[in-house]
């Protein structure tokens, strides 16, 4: 198993584990105060972290088909894992601080979302480029 695969698999499993913890915390809050609806940031945290886990596990399969050097693959993988952890942590923090909409809150939260999305686009585009190039034999 390559370094890139290791990064992506560990990051994916960690995201899935954190998603389960968030779901349990959401359950615990709701079971003790059912009259209060679920906080939007809590639901967003759970879904975002869960899907980031699936994304990273899927990328673990795809990254080995790029034919890039190990260092390039590791850089792409590490950037995806770090961004997924930052965005997941940010949504949990927003839940803890009772912020229902991070974009509307503005400031560093909105900037971090934009930067994270740009890093996601660049890393996944790089992986897609490598896979397509390998499939076409270029």
Query: In the chain, how many domains are there?
Result: 1
Residue 41: per-residue pLDDT: 81
Note the pLDDT tens digit of each residue in 51-87.
999 999 999 999 999 989 999 999 999 999 999 999 9
Distance CA 99, CA 11 (A): 26
Note the pLDDT tens digit of each residue in 79-117.
999 999 999 988 888 888 888 777 777 788 788 888 999
User: If you write DSSP's letter for every residue of 14-60 in order, what string do you get?
Assistant: HHHHHHHHHHHHHHHHHHH-TTSPPPHHHHHHHHHHHHHHHHHHHHH
Domain that holds residue 87: 3-136
Total count of residues recorded for the chain: 138
Note the pLDDT tens digit of each residue in 15-60.
999 999 999 998 998 898 888 887 788 888 899 999 999 999 999 9
CATH number of the domain that residue 17 is part of: 1.20.120
């Amino acid at each position: 198993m390559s370094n890139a695969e290791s990064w992506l698999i560990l990051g994916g499993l960690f995201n899935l584990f954190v998603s389960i913890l968030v779901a349990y915390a959401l359950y615990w809050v709701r079971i003790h105060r059912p009259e209060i609806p679920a906080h939007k940031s809590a639901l967003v945290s759970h879904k975002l972290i869960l899907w980031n886990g699936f994304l990273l596990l899927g990328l673990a399969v795809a990254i080995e088909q790029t034919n890039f050097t190990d260092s390039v693959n590791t850089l792409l993988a590490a950037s995806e894992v770090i961004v997924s952890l930052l965005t997941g942590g940010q949504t949990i923090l927003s839940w803890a601080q009772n912020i229902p909409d991070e974009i509307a809150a503005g400031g560093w939260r909105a900037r971090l979302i934009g930067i994270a999305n740009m890093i996601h686009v660049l890393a996944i585009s790089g992986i897609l480029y490598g896979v397509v190039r390998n499939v076409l034999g270029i």
